[in-house]
Structure 1
Amino acid sequence: MNKFIQHSILLVMVVMVLGGCDKTGNFPGADVSPYIAIFDLRNLYKGNDLTLSAGSMGGYTGISGTVVSDHRGKNLKSGLLMVQDKLRLNELRGIAIDIGEDAAQYIPGDSVTVNLSGGVMKRVDGLLQVSGVNPSAVVKVASGVAIPVNRVPSTYILANPDEYESTEIVIVKGSFDPAPVAGETYSGDKVVNDGFDNIPFKTLSTATFANDPLPGLANFFGVIDYSADNAGNYTPHFRIRNASDIRTLSSTVTQIPVVITGFMADVEGTPDPNGEYIQFLATRDIDFSQTPYCVVIHNTNSGYQPTGVPVNGWAMGGSRSYKFNLASGTVNKGQYFYVGNSVKLINGVGSTSIANAKWIVSRNTQTTPGDGLGNANPDLLLNGVSLYTDGIAVFQGTTIDKNSIPLDVIITGYNGAILNIAQGAGLRIGNTDWYDVVNPVTLEEQPFYKQGSNTICLLRPSPANVGWFYKLGGIYNARLGRWVKSRSQGTVDLEKTSTLDDLEKEGPVIITGGGTEVRKPTQVIN
């Protein structure tokens, strides 16, 4: 009887559900959205002009999204309304819609719907856009919508501009190449480098900011457009929309005279108490007796004293940090030089001598304390699989304290007692290819490693006793005073018979006058 009652109730429920169904398959209160994701809209274009309708758009009639075009600065092609959304797969895409003079009524942050029926999607001067749309088809539904910051490296834009068309993007830490001269303005065709690649940068002479002076370093918000070359091919360029798209980070660019390019932390075989050394590259001619520098090595080995967070920063002393003063000798622009072991061997006992290299400081750190900082220590550059934080930093002058800011710095490892912001305790960083004293996007101060966006670090040397030299690569542009290709960690597997050429034959390179890339330290062309 109970089963009969249960089956009867189930039958009644099924009949009620079936009876309440709309034969068309549409459920009351659940109308299908008329708006197609811009990602899907763009994918409908196959190279030929496409008339848009509910039929060609799979039942959709338009789009909804956020405006990113701004004609107040008079630097965009007139008539184009640029709208973006992330409705499909969380993929940001944009589309330009030609509505004539009415496009100037809308500004970034306006939320709009656009009925595209009757419009034609096609490429015009390289840019995918919809034409033939009546301005009345655009309906503003809100304003002041926040547009998430979308940082895009220039390499991504150049490789696949279609993904970024008609969306707001930001080029972070951009500088002009060549470096601006006094009084140079935005007007015309320029080139900007963001540490990844060079991208063309266009400002119309009619732009309201065309006569503003160029900054040394800045974040640039804007959109992608295209230029035609002599063969009629279209290549992407970047346009800011108005002066508020410029976030100046520095009015000038300071050249770093000494950059860290590699290090030997653990030679092949054991023991290795006097085998460590660091490789540097000079970006200009230096007489260290006239302009001295110092190199400091810091580590967080739990057995080294004093323990805890570095309350004195790089100047901790004891067995935590060790200083080499670079106060004599000379080096030429583009030349590698070395600091480290007294025996000047490339890969430990029984290996090739590299005494013919440019050594600025050479000493046995196992028996000799640092120059005013650090106890004698046989193992400055730690190795193994530990992830504890260690670092190498270069400072101007030979005296440092807890507030000293390095010219260049690299960090290996991420863990350990390394940062306490409340105490102002940590390893300070400088403005390099990896680190920023001020967050380039949020503009918040972040003077320490592991603070804010300063999280990049190298892998710790591992496995032990194999003789790996860690080469950092990259391209430093001496004219611009910055890295235009950021460093990355590479490994040179040295043998006992390896030679100096194995350390110096590959990157980083220095670009000098005329755009020449110099790969050998003795071949700098001015």
Structure 2
Amino acid sequence: MKRAFVLILLVTALLYYACDNFDDPAIPEINNCSLSLTNAEGIPLSNVWVKVYYSDKKPGFVVDSTFTSVLGKASLQSLEPRDYILKAFRENGEELGATEIVVTSDNTSNNIEWELDVFVDNYTFTVILVDNKDKPIVGRKVELLTMDGGDPVSLKEGLSNAEGKVAFAKTVAGTYNVYVYDDNNTSVFAQIVSTVGAGENNSETFLIQKIYHNSDIVITGFVHDPRGSDSPITGAVSGDGLVHPGQYEYVQLMALKDINFAENNYSVVFTNTTSPTEYGWADGLYDEASKKVYQINLTTGSVSKGQYFYVGGSARAICSYYQLTVSPQLDPGVFWGVDYAAQAGGNGNGAAKNGSGLLGNGSGKSQSSVKKSAPDGIAVFKGINVDENTVPTDAIFFGTSVTYQAYQMPDNDVYSRTNSDTGEQQTLFGEGTNTYLFPVGAQDVGTFIKLGGKVTASEWLTPRSGTVFLFNMKDYPGASTADIENSADCTVFVDK
């Protein structure tokens, strides 16, 4: 009994000693690997089953396995640093090849690029970008995407060349999303789903509608109903005692190139009527008493590309007057002012207004209640000889309803001489789709109609739409050129 007790103590002591000197087992080091799988032509191999085996023990034991993505990419997880064998298989189990790899303790080195001697049917898929005049669209971003697990994955992208083409070489047969970006190459402008493969066109053509114009001068805003007397006779005295320096209605224009008017004449015609005649913009040439139109010729001075300038009444005031104070006046160098109350229109096209306006007013003191019995318009012509068949280079109409078909119209951002849907001619305002009307300002409160839009020397990037801006008439100076040239909703010139 005593001997047994001693033996138990001895075993206990040995166990305690052993446990006290036992080292915890080392935690195995594990690493991850990234894999890129292509064929000899550099085409990514997708949906390939890749298996990992030990190279020196347990033959046939799969350490890890993964499928490659549509980009031929995969990730291998939790591998000890050592030698391995990779084998690649099709989905049907056919082996495609094998290779040896070494996984190191430095994860940054564990990037495996594996090339297999496998042929994959591939094609050159071409995207063609043209505009409505069959001109190539150059420098536009195009992206080719496919779906992986329900999410779009970008495969390739490029910019259209001088022929408007982007060629995606070595594109594997399949179905793809094609994205075409906007002018700034920041947002998707158009997209389509296209199939690539044998028997397919392997190309897509995008028709990008451009809004071309043919005008050196565009209309950017106007004042058709200034507060107070719109078009008083020069020298007339208001009820408050203000001596009027002239008339207050005008149009704001923008030059899209440098112009010397002495060398290259232009003209602007205004309408103010509910019943135009067959002579349209040239009505005053056939009736010397007609006040339906009024022409102002531009034959002196000059403007620079991208510059705002003004044509209208001789007061040259931004927003007419309040009580005894005329609003700030624009410099004669940028304002072609005419005493249209006393003088006949250019070339005799329009009688002196003698108190009536260049443009018609609407009715309604609140903007929401404005009505106008018939639209009125403004047109720009290259040259000063305007007749009933002369086509303006730019024109706009404002009002609340289209009540007639008259006046030759240009091709611009809101009007067209040909109906794009039917191909039929529509040369007059009111015909076909030529019905766009810019807004009318509330009656006698002092408004400026900003037309807005973005324009280059040859096209409208953003069409005009029209915004009513209410001048602050009661606080001198009440308005500045910044209000109508550099604020929100003003027309922007893009020099390209």
TM-score (norm 2): 0.53
Corresponding position of 1:411: 397
In the other structure, the counterpart of 1:500 is 481
1:354–1:500: 8 Å Cα contact kept in structure 2? no
Which residue of structure 2 aligns with residue 484 of structure 1? 461
SS in 1 for 2:397: strand
Deviations 1:332-364 (A, max 9, x none): 011110101111112213232323264352112
Name the structure 1 match of 2:225. Answer: 266
Extract unaligned runs of 5+ from structure 2: 1-68, 72-129, 141-157, 170-175, 195-200, 233-246, 285-289, 363-370
Q: Name the CA shift for 1:191/1:371 in 2 (closer, same or farther; >3 Å).
A: farther
**1:11-410 pair list within 5 angstroms:** 189-190=159-160, 203-204=166-167, 225-226=178-179, 237=190, 255-270=214-229, 272-273=231-232, 274-301=247-274, 307=275, 309-317=276-284, 318-349=290-321, 350-356=325-331, 358-372=333-347, 373-377=349-353, 378-384=356-362, 385-410=371-396
Within-5 A mapping of 1:414-453 = 415=401, 418-419=404-405, 426-453=406-433
**1:257–1:240: structure 2 CA closer, same or farther, 3 Å change rule?**
farther
Q: Which moved more, 1:349-358 or 1:451-460?
A: 349-358
Per-residue CA deviation, residues 473-498 of structure 1 (Å, 9 max, x unaligned), is 110023xx111001111122112421
Question: What SS does the aligned partner of 1:316 have?
Answer: helix
Matched, 1:474 2:453: yes
3-state SS, counterpart of residue 271 of structure 2: strand
Sort the Cα spacing of 1:368 and 1:240 in 2 relative to 1 into closer, same or farther, 3 A. Answer: farther
Provide the rounded CA distance (Å) in 2 between the counterparts of 1:490 and 1:410.
14
The 2-side partners of 1:381 and 1:174 are apart by: 39
Q: C-alpha distance in 2, partners of 1:393/1:408?
A: 6
Match of 1:75 in 2: none
Structure 2 contact 262–300 (Cα < 8 Å) conserved: yes
Q: SS at 1:315's partner residue?
A: helix
Task: Flag structure 1 segments of 5+ consecutive residues without an equivalent.
Answer: 1-122, 126-169, 181-187, 193-200, 207-222, 302-306, 420-425, 514-526
Q: Higher strand share goes to which structure?
A: 2
After superposition, the Cα gap between the structure-2 partners of 1:315 and 1:294, relative to the gap in structure 1 and judged at 3 Å, is same
Aligned-pair CA distance for 1:249: 9.8
- Report the 3-state secondary structure (helix = DSSP H, G, I; strand = E; otherwise coil) of the residue aligned with 2:277: coil
Count of matched residue pairs: 299
**Amino acid in structure 2 at the alignment position of 1:341:** G
Rounded to whole Å, the distance in 2 between the matches of 1:224 and 1:444 is: 36
- Structure 1 residue 386: Cα displacement: 1.5
CA separation in 2, counterparts of 1:294 and 1:249? 30
2:220 and 2:451 in contact (8 A); partners too: yes
Any idea what SS the aligned residue of 1:394 has?
strand
Measured in 2, the distance between the counterparts of 1:295 and 1:179 equals 37
Q: CA deviation at 1:435?
A: 0.9
CA displacement 1:366-423 (0-9 Å, x = unmatched): 111101200111211111222402100001100011111110000112646532xxxx
Preserved contact between residue 319 and residue 375 of structure 1 (Cα < 8 Å): yes
**Partner amino acid, structure 2, of 1:392:** I
Question: 1:157-201 deviations in whole A, cap 9, x for unaligned?
Answer: xxxxxxxxxxxxx98688655599xxxxxxx84399xxxxxxxx7
Change (3 A) 1:174 1:345: farther
Cα 1:271–1:371 change in 2 (3 A) is closer
Q: Deviations 1:418-471 (Å, cap 9, x if unpaired)?
A: 32xxxxxx2111110101111223222211112112121112332x11110111
1:298-321 CA distances to partner (integer Å, 9 max, x unpaired)? 2323xxxxx4x4201211121111
Identity among equivalent pairs (%): 30
On the 8 A contact 2:417/2:427 being kept in 1, the answer is: yes
Question: What is the rounded CA distance, in whole Å, between the counterparts of 2:446 and 2:380 in structure 1?
Answer: 24
CA contact (8 A) 2:272 2:292 kept: yes
Q: Contact 1:256 / 1:482 at 8 angstroms: preserved in 2? A: no
Question: Structure 1 residues 392-401 or 241-250, which shifts more?
Answer: 241-250
Instruction: Please tell me whether residue 510 in structure 1 is matched to residue 493 in structure 2.
Output: yes
Q: 2:79 corresponds to which residue?
A: none
Q: Which amino acid aligns with 1:374?
A: G
Q: Equivalents in 2 of 1:174, 1:224: separation in Å?
A: 24
Which amino acid is the alignment partner of residue 362 of structure 1? G
| Larger of the two Rg values belongs to structure | 2
Equivalent AA in structure 1 for residue 222 of structure 2: F
| 1:409–1:174 distance in 2 versus 1, CA, 3 Å | farther
Contact 1:263 1:470 in 2 (8 A): yes
Contact 2:213–2:460 (8 Å) recurs in 1: no
SS at 1:260's partner residue? strand
Q: Distance in 2 between matches of 1:438 and 1:487?
A: 19
TM superposition shift of 1:244: 12
CA-to-aligned-CA distance 1:9-46 (integer Å, 9 cap, x gap): xxxxxxxxxxxxxxxxxxxxxxxxxxxxxxxxxxxxxx
> Measured at CA, do residues 363 and 474 of structure 1 come closer, stay the same or move farther in structure 2, by a change above 3 Å?
same
Secondary structure, counterpart of 2:281 in structure 1? helix
CA offset digits 1:226-248 (Å, max 9, x no partner): 379xxxx9956557998997989
Q: Answer yes or no: is the 8 Å Cα contact 1:202–1:238 preserved in 2.
A: no
Q: Secondary structure at the match of 2:326?
A: coil
Q: Is the 8 A contact 1:320 1:374 kept in 2?
A: yes
Q: Tell me how far apart the structure 2 counterparts of residues 236 and 335 of structure 1 sit (CA, whole Å).
A: 30
In 1, distance between residues paired with 2:309 and 2:278?
31
Is the contact between residue 227 and residue 446 of structure 2 (CA under 8 Å) also seen in structure 1?
Answer: yes
For the 8 Å contact 1:172–1:440, the answer to whether it is kept is no
**Hey, what's the Cα distance between the residues in 1 that align with 2:481 and 2:448?**
12
Give, in whole Å, the separation in 1 of the partners of 2:450 and 2:352: 26
